[in-house]
Amino acid sequence: MPVKILLTIGTLAVLLTVPDLIPQYKDYKVLDWSTIPLLLEFHAKASIEEEQLRLKPTVDAVTAQNATLLAGNMEHFYEALRQRETGQDRVVRILHYGDSPTTADMITADARVLLQKRFGDAGHGYHLIAKPWAWYEHRGVTVSADGWKIDPANQSSVKDGLYGLGGVSFRGSPGAHSHFSFRSTPAKIEVHFLPGEGRLETSTGPVDLSTREGFVTLPGASPFELKVASGQVRLFGIRALDERPGVLYESLGLNGAYISVLDKMFNEAHWSEHLRRAQPDLVIINYGTNESVYAQFVDKAFEKELRETVRRIRAAVPDSSILIMSPMDRGQRDSTGNISTVPALHRLVNIEQKTATDLGVGFFNTFEAMGGSGTMARWYQAEPRLVGADFIHPMPAGAKIVGGLLEKALMEGYRRYKTRVLTERFAQQ
């Protein structure tokens, strides 16, 4: 191994270890070695209720839970769950758009597991063609790839707005390839692309990219490989699907994403086509973390862009339920060394809640559900730590808490929906 690489690795190891050896540097600790098993297993030591009580014992769990999900027009989604629960052979489809935590399938994977345990596993869903960032991960899927020119919507040199369902396009010439392995072999795999001249070779058959539909469905396989056989091609992603009823929860996170991605950077007609193809029962809009440190944007532009995003989704899939999901707490260290919530975050969450109420869509107050102001300070000081040293990105155990809170709020809303439906039916008899 080259000397420069060895020196780089050694320097990194020293930087990670020094805060454990010198107490004065404990606040600069980036890696808690005790959490390595959590990174591998995504396992929280305590239940969601135990963590909430430990981190903020003054919050009444029932009151907090009831205040975190506004019903809005969630009935389409709840009815889909009811149909599945009563034995109907259907797939309940969820699209979750978000920023960097969802880039690594954090929060989304935990919610996916819980919902699929209740209603059945319909497959993993959407996955990008390659890793736009080293930390792009989806639980239960591994990918290796080479030869692609990668263009995320928010960092793209291509400004045409054509990024498929997941917000990233992949341009390749002959020799570009990707290799996927799945924990559970899917029954079928869709390949999504921009129609044009070109051909792919895959593990389960050739793909002619001239078809106008922009996707093909192939038999599933694990591993599944695709490579460019001819032409200059532009791909978007694959969808791993199972031929059984249940929940399909698709994580669509972009690193550094903010609300403008959906309302300005996506070509509306193109995105609408991909939304209709996905047939979502629920679309989750989960932004705000990156915007929260730009107070002028929060106060002057955020609401307008959020409303436009909801309008676009409704125009494309008018029957789908929409849920605005607030960001988690975001901390910052002040001049005295204390960690506090960034000031504009409170205003941003209030804007999201007001917008959801005005537009009649669902709203999940992640910020309040996890403990409100100062949560990231408590999470950073917890043992083991639940958030990294940037006071933004949760550790796996912290992500599991948030994913569990989301699922719990959805199930409480679903319970209320079923109660109301049954009450109305009895009243008509």
Answer yes or no: do 163 and 194 share one domain. Answer: yes
Residue 25 lies inside a defined structural domain of this protein:
no
pLDDT at 61 over 70: no
The two most distant CA atoms of the chain are separated, in Å, by 81
pLDDT of residue 73: 85
Answer yes or no: do 256 and 396 share one domain. Answer: yes
Residue 164 lies inside a defined structural domain of this protein:
yes
Long-range contacts of 151-157 (CB under 8 A, 24+ apart): 152/254, 152/255, 153/254, 153/261, 153/265, 153/266, 154/254, 154/256, 154/257, 154/258, 154/260, 154/261, 154/265, 155/256, 156/265
Residue 305 lies inside a defined structural domain of this protein:
yes
Q: What does the alpha-carbon distance between residue 251 and residue 95 come to, in Å, rounded to a whole number?
A: 7
Answer yes or no: do 161 and 236 share one domain. Answer: yes
Question: Are 92 and 81 contacting, i.e. CB atoms less than 8 angstroms apart?
Answer: yes
- Of 222, 243, 264, the residue that ends a domain is 243
> Where would I find the H helices in 173-299?
260, 268-278, 295-297
Query: Above pLDDT 90, what percent of the chain?
Result: 77
- Of 216, 243, 270, the residue that ends a domain is 243
Q: What does the alpha-carbon distance between residue 53 and residue 67 come to, in Å, rounded to a whole number?
A: 17
Question: Are 194 and 220 contacting, i.e. CB atoms less than 8 angstroms apart?
Answer: no
Mean pLDDT throughout 301-305?
98
Question: Are 68 and 226 contacting, i.e. CB atoms less than 8 angstroms apart?
Answer: no
Label the pairing between strands 149-152 and 91-98: unpaired
3-state secondary structure of 150: strand
pLDDT at 351 over 50: yes
Residue 198 lies inside a defined structural domain of this protein:
yes
Answer yes or no: do 350 and 404 share one domain. Answer: yes
Answer yes or no: do 142 and 201 share one domain. Answer: yes
Label the pairing between strands 331-333 and 321-325: unpaired
Answer yes or no: do 282 and 399 share one domain. Answer: yes
How far is Cα of residue 217 from the mean position of the Cα atoms in its chain? 24
Mean pLDDT throughout 250-277?
97
How many domains are there within the chain?
2
Domain housing 107:
45-122+245-429
Answer yes or no: do 355 and 289 share one domain. Answer: yes
Question: Are 226 and 207 contacting, i.e. CB atoms less than 8 angstroms apart?
Answer: yes
Please provide residue 419's backbone torsions phi and psi, each rounded to the nearest 5 degrees. Answer: -60, -45
Answer yes or no: do 146 and 282 share one domain. Answer: no
pLDDT of residue 64: 46
Q: What does the alpha-carbon distance between residue 363 and residue 353 come to, in Å, rounded to a whole number?
A: 6
Answer yes or no: do 299 and 424 share one domain. Answer: yes
What CA dihedral angle connects 130, 134, 140 and 141, to 10 degrees?
20
pLDDT digits (tens, 9 = 90+) for 73-132: 899 999 999 999 999 999 999 999 999 989 999 999 999 999 999 999 999 999 999 999
Answer yes or no: do 379 and 393 share one domain. Answer: yes
One-letter identity of residue 287: Y
Q: What does the alpha-carbon distance between residue 341 and residue 345 come to, in Å, rounded to a whole number?
A: 7
Residue 27 lies inside a defined structural domain of this protein:
no
How far is Cα of residue 257 from the mean position of the Cα atoms in its chain? 11
Q: What is the CATH number for 348?
A: 3.40.50.1110
pLDDT of residue 271: 98
- Residue 10: pLDDT band (50, 70, 90) is low
Cis peptide before 223, with omega less than 30 degrees from 0? yes
pLDDT of residue 8: 62
Residue 12 lies inside a defined structural domain of this protein:
no
The kind and range of the H/E element at 339 are strand 339-341
Residue 5 lies inside a defined structural domain of this protein:
no
Residue 86 lies inside a defined structural domain of this protein:
yes
pLDDT at 57 over 70: no
Mean pLDDT throughout 234-261?
97
- Of 243, 275, 297, the residue that ends a domain is 243
Answer yes or no: do 108 and 189 share one domain. Answer: no
One-letter identity of residue 276: R
Q: What is the CATH number for 193?
A: 2.60.120.1360
In this structure, what token pair is assigned to residue 300? 């002057």
What sign results for the dihedral spanned by CA atoms 411, 138, 371, 346?
negative
291: nearest Cα among 278, 277, 273, 303: 303
Cα distances (angstroms) measured from residue 169 to each of 33, 57, 132: 36, 46, 10
pLDDT of residue 70: 67
Could you say which DSSP state residue 243 is in?
Answer: S
Answer yes or no: do 299 and 236 share one domain. Answer: no
Question: Are 349 and 326 contacting, i.e. CB atoms less than 8 angstroms apart?
Answer: yes
Cα distances (angstroms) measured from residue 121 to each of 93, 113, 124: 11, 8, 8
pLDDT digits (tens, 9 = 90+) for 22-55: 544 444 444 544 444 434 434 444 455 555 555 5
